[in-house]
Amino acid sequence: MTFRDLRAFRSIQSKLTGHGESHLNPEGVLLSNGPLGSSLPQSQGLAIADHLAKNDRVTICVLSDAAAMEGEAKESFSAIPGFAAKGLVNPYVLVITDNDTKLSGRITKDSFSMQGSFDALAPQGWHVIKVEKGNDLQTVYQALEKALSAAQADPKKPVALWLKTVKGFGIKATEESSSGGHGFPLTSGEKITDWIHEIYNNAAPQEFLDWAQELKKLWEDSEAKKAAKAAAAAPATPAIKKTKIQTGLSKGAITAAKEGLPVFSVAADLAGSTGMSTFQKSFPDRSLDVGVAESNMISTAAGLSKVGFIPIVDTFAQFGVTKGNLPLTMAALSQAPVIAVFSHAGFQDAADGASHQATTYIAASQPHSAYCGGGAVLCG
**pLDDT exceeds 50 at position 61:** yes
Sign of CA dihedral 241, 243, 248, 254: negative
Identify whether residues 158 and 263 lie together within a single domain: no
Identify whether residues 99 and 38 lie together within a single domain: yes
Q: Is 233 within a domain?
A: no
Locate all alpha helices (DSSP H) within 39-156, ordered by sequence.
Answer: 39-53, 71-85, 107-110, 115-119, 137-153
Tell me which H or E stretch contains 301. Answer: helix 294-306
- State how many domains the chain has: 3
pLDDT in tens, 159-181: 999 999 999 888 888 888 887 77
Structural contact between residues 185 and 10, judged by C-beta atoms closer than 8 angstroms: yes
Average pLDDT over residues 22-33: 72
Q: Is 186 within a domain?
A: no
Identify whether residues 251 and 338 lie together within a single domain: yes
Domain enclosing residue 335, as ranges: 247-379
**pLDDT exceeds 50 at position 379:** no
Q: For residue 376, what pLDDT is reported? A: 39
Identify whether residues 199 and 137 lie together within a single domain: no
Identify whether residues 264 and 339 lie together within a single domain: yes
Q: For residue 214, what pLDDT is reported? A: 87
Average pLDDT over residues 227-253: 75
Q: For residue 113, what pLDDT is reported? A: 94
Identify whether residues 142 and 45 lie together within a single domain: yes
Using only the alpha carbons of the chain, give its radius of gyration. 23
**pLDDT exceeds 50 at position 371:** no
Nearest of 29, 97, 92, 30 to residue 60 by alpha carbon: 92
Long-range contacts of 196-204 (CB under 8 A, 24+ apart): 198/170, 198/171, 198/172, 199/170, 199/171
Identify whether residues 110 and 196 lie together within a single domain: no
Tell me which H or E stretch contains 196. Answer: helix 192-199
When mean pLDDT is compared over 20-34, 171-185, 248-262, 356-370, the highest value belongs to 248-262
Q: For residue 53, what pLDDT is reported? A: 93
**pLDDT exceeds 80 at position 41:** yes
Q: For residue 14, what pLDDT is reported? A: 75
Q: Is 90 within a domain?
A: yes
pLDDT in tens, 257-316: 999 999 999 999 888 888 899 999 999 999 999 888 899 899 999 999 998 999 999 998
**Residues in Cβ contact with 310 at an 8 Å cutoff, skipping those fewer than 6 apart:** 256, 261, 262, 263, 264, 337, 339
Task: For residue 96, list its beta bridge partners.
Answer: 63, 162
pTM: 0.76
Strand pairing category for 263-267 and 159-164: unpaired
Rounded CA-CA distance 311/298 in Å is 9
Q: What value does the mean pLDDT of the chain take?
A: 84
Tell me which H or E stretch contains 263. Answer: strand 263-267
Nearest of 296, 309, 295 to residue 339 by alpha carbon: 309
Identify whether residues 220 and 258 lie together within a single domain: no
